[in-house]
Each structure stands twice: as structure tokens, then as C-alpha cells.
Structure 1
């Protein structure tokens, strides 16, 4: 009985460790943070992502999923992948923009909190759901990963603060990430990925592309490339999905209109069901 209770504590220890990494990143960014402090904060968020990715898996492996774990996961994400990266990008590049930089950083944290609140509501609505193949909206840990990868790559390559010319593009990236988190753009989870010839081929392509980028350009760019590729993949798949909808609408006659309406209704229901199913799966913050 005592061993069983200790097993319930184990996944929560991973979550609390993720909170510690996020808190440590915040302390490094506080005050007059140097480029070295900013870089160390980004690395701390990277470690937070590591622990965040394992708490849900440990919970499933030990069969210790609980409502408490889901709520703790969300609170951890607000700290480690909402407040910490928002402060990080503010001190790194947006602080010279004054109130605009402060507001854009706040938007990142606020949209992340909204993303987590939506997840918790769906978890309460469907506590016994199954798995799913898509996220609805960009998961907050991956949005934080984009910010973290940019900071690490820039520091390793230059070792200085971003130039004036870079602040505009960085601000645009922060706005894009904020909008994607609260959007209905669907991103693949890869949770149900099984070993096959197709998956092995894709894995080899991903690895080889990382090797090419690391050898031809700089190893620090590999994280940025993977983050941007995942971000773009969701947008591209959503664009294809919209194109298919428009093509369906062009079917002539009343039968075509009815078919188009049926397809749209079915896809909308699928999106809601997939999000609700993930909410009840006890996967933890890595799936928010």
C-alpha cells in the first residue's frame, strides 16, 4: 500500500522539478540580466521541457493518472512555459521596445494561460476520454521551445544581445506563437506513432536533416530548425484542410451543398472530440 502511494508521488515529482526549472529561469532573468544569464535561463527551460515530457508518461506507465496531476501539470506549465519564456524573450530582445515589448511578452503568457484553461475545461467535461492524433492549437511547451531555441542559437553563435534589426522579427514570432496557442490549428501529437517502414523513413529524414544543418551551418541551429518545422507543419496541414473544404464546397447542386455541410460538421466534431479525448488521457503538460 505504501509503495502504491509512493508511485502516485513519482510523476508529480517530475512536474515539480519542471516548476523548479521554470522558477530558476525567472530568477536568472530578473534584474539586470546579462546575455549569459539569458542563455542559462533558456537552458533551464529546456530542462523543464525534458521533465514535462516525462511526467505524463511516468503516470501512464505506473497507472497513477489523477485529476490532481492534471491540475498540477497546468499550473507548472503556466510557470515554466508561460511566465518564464515570456520574461525571457522580454529581457532578451523586447525590453528596448518599451511598453510594446512588455505587452507582447504579456500576450505570450496570457495566451498560454488561456490555452491551459481551455484544456482543463475540456478535461472536466470528458474525464474518461481516450487518445488523439492532434492537438487543437499549438501546445504551450512547444511554443516556449521556439523561444528557447532562438535564444540558445543566437547566444552560441554571437554571444551578444539581438541587434535593433532583429527586434521586429522576434516580436512578430512572439505574436505568431501567441495566436497559434489560442487558435484551432491542429498539430500532430505523434503519441500513437508505431514503428513501421514509413515512420522509420521519416525518422531518418529528420535525423539526416539535423546532421546536415549541424555540419553545414551550426549545431545550435538544429533546435531552431526542428521547432520551425513543427510550427510550419501544423500551418501547412491546416491550409490543405481548408483547401479540401473549399474544393468540397464547389461541388454543384444541392447535393454538393449538403455534402459540404456534412463534411464541415464532421470535421468540427472531430476537432472537439480529439481535444476532449486528449484532455482525459492524463498525458500531462507535454500534451497541453
Structure 2
């Protein structure tokens, strides 16, 4: 096999290993005997997140991006960040709610799959502004919120009871945010200016201090929650401007469609 073919396989190996992490997490969740035994299952998803963040970077570094890789990555995300966290949170808290808990766990998977399908369509269209914002909460970050909660609870599971109803409300909210039109920053267009480097240093220092002062898992909960809240706050603050942008985009698409129809009619009349 040529070196070039091996390079194409390399990023896909990262993606497949991410799927392995999700599958392993599901086996651990399925056989868990109590909330405290779910800690390894949550860690497996966390490792899957790390691998998911690497496969795209490896593909860009080796210049082996492909439509196949994009589709495989989406399938991996449905398993590792959709099905695995849904089973994890169902086993952790939602199972006590009976049918409602099962419906909410499935809703998380379904909304994640819809979110990924929309993302792929926007990527193929080359949607304007796609590099600056995600449309809807990305599924890895949605999974990160749930996983961080399980990790934070895991060390104190012996004395802390799992609050099923608040967790159910959170799962419903996160599921909605994934399929919503709320924009979340990708931070891809952030320039490494002195000001931005100072902000980054402050955030890293604060995160490290939180991790040392309390627990790393609690720091993860805070970071994930802040990102979720940031998108909601920005949507409220810039609601009017973004609504106008969406209306203008729809009008432009409608005008383009009308122009196409007119051209077709002219061609038909000439015939």
C-alpha cells in the first residue's frame, strides 16, 4: 500500500477509535450496578472527545480531507456523543422516571442525529459564516455537559442522590439547543492578538485554579455550562440583528429561485 493511502487511513483510524470509546462506554453503562460505577463509562466518552478533536486536525495536516471522512465522523458522533451519553444519563438518572426517562434519552440521540445531518448539509453548501458559528449546540459539547455532570457526581455518589427531575429538564434543554437556530461560536476566526492571548491566559489560569481548588470534573461542568449559556445570551442580545440577517438570506434565496424560473420560461418560449 502506498504512503498516500496510509495517510488517508490515518485520520479514519482516529475516528474509528472514537467509535470504540463510545461502544465501550455503552457496555460499561449497560452493566453498571450503581451511579458510582458509571465513572469509567463517562471517562470513555471523554477519551472519545479527545480523539474526535484530533481526527480532523490530522486530516488537515496530512491534506487528506474527504467526503468519506466527513460522513464517517458524523456516524462516529452519533454513537460516541449521541447513543453513549444517552445510555449513560439514562442509567445514571433518567431510568427512575420510567417511560419519560426513556423518551428523553432517545430525544437526545434523535436531536443529535438531526443536528449532525444539518451540519453536513451546511458544510456541503459552504454556508456563509459557517466557520465563525455553529448553528445549534454541537453534539460533542452537548455530550460534554452530561458527561461532566456524571464525572462530578461520580466521586460523591455514595452520599449524594441523583436529582432525576432537574437532570431530565437539562436533557430536554440540551436536546432542543442542538436542533435550534441559536448560534455558538467556533472561535476559529479569533486572532492571536495580545488582548486575546491575555484573555486565553486568564481563562486557562482560572480553569486550572478551579481544578486544583475543587475538582477537575467540577471545572469541566463550569466550562461546559458557560459555553451553553454564552450562546443563549448572545442570541438574546443580538436577536434582532440575526433575525434580520436570516430574513435577508431567505429573500435572497427566493429572488435567486424566481430568477431561475424566469430564465427557464424564457428558454421554453424560445423553443
Q: TM-score range by the shorter chain?
A: 0.7 to 0.9
1:151 corresponds to 2:160:
no
Q: 2: CA distance between counterparts of 1:104 and 1:110? A: 10
After TM superposition, give the deviation of residue 268 of structure 1 in Å: 6.7
Q: From the superposition, tell whether residues 218 and 34 of structure 1 become closer, same or farther in structure 2 (CA, over 3 Å).
A: same
Is 1:90–2:87 an aligned residue pair? no
Alignment-derived partner of residue 186 in structure 1: 183
TM-score (norm 1): 0.80
Q: Return the offset for 1:132.
A: 1.0
Return the offset for 1:131.
Answer: 6.2
Q: Is the aligned partner of 1:265 residue 2:263?
A: no
The alpha carbon displacement at 1:209 in A equals 2.2
Please tell me whether residue 167 in structure 1 is matched to residue 149 in structure 2.
no
Cα distance between partner residues in 2 of 1:170 and 1:215: 26
5+ unaligned residues in a row in structure 1: which ranges?
A: 247-260, 271-288
Aligned residues: 252
Structure 1 distance, partners of 2:27, 2:144, is 19
Aligned counterparts of 2:208 and 2:32: Cα–Cα separation in 1: 36
Structure 2: stretches of 5+ with no match in the other structure: 253-271
Matches of 2:226 and 2:211, distance apart in 1: 15
Q: Is the 8 A contact 2:85 2:146 kept in 1?
A: yes
Aligned to 2:214: 217
Is structure 2 residue 254 aligned with structure 1 residue 240?
no
Which runs of structure 2 are paired with 1:123-162 in the superposition (5 Å)? 123-126=123-126, 132-156=131-155, 158-160=156-158
Which protein has greater RCO, CA pairs closer than 8 Å, 6+ apart?
1
Counterparts of 1:130 and 1:237 in 2: how far apart (Å)? 16
Give the alignment's Cα RMSD to 1 decimal: 2.4
Please report the TM-score for the alignment, with normalisation by the length of structure 2. Answer: 0.85
Secondary structure in structure 2 of the residue aligned to 1:63: coil
Over 4 Å off, 4+ runs: 128-131, 243-246, 266-270
Instruction: Report the secondary structure of 1:138's partner residue.
Output: coil
Distance 1:6 1:175 in 2: 42
Aligned-residue offset at 1:205 = 2.2
What is aligned with 1:34?
34
2:106 aligns with 106
Question: What secondary structure, in the 3-state scheme, does the structure 1 residue paired with 2:184 have?
Answer: strand
Q: Does 1:115 align with 2:115?
A: yes
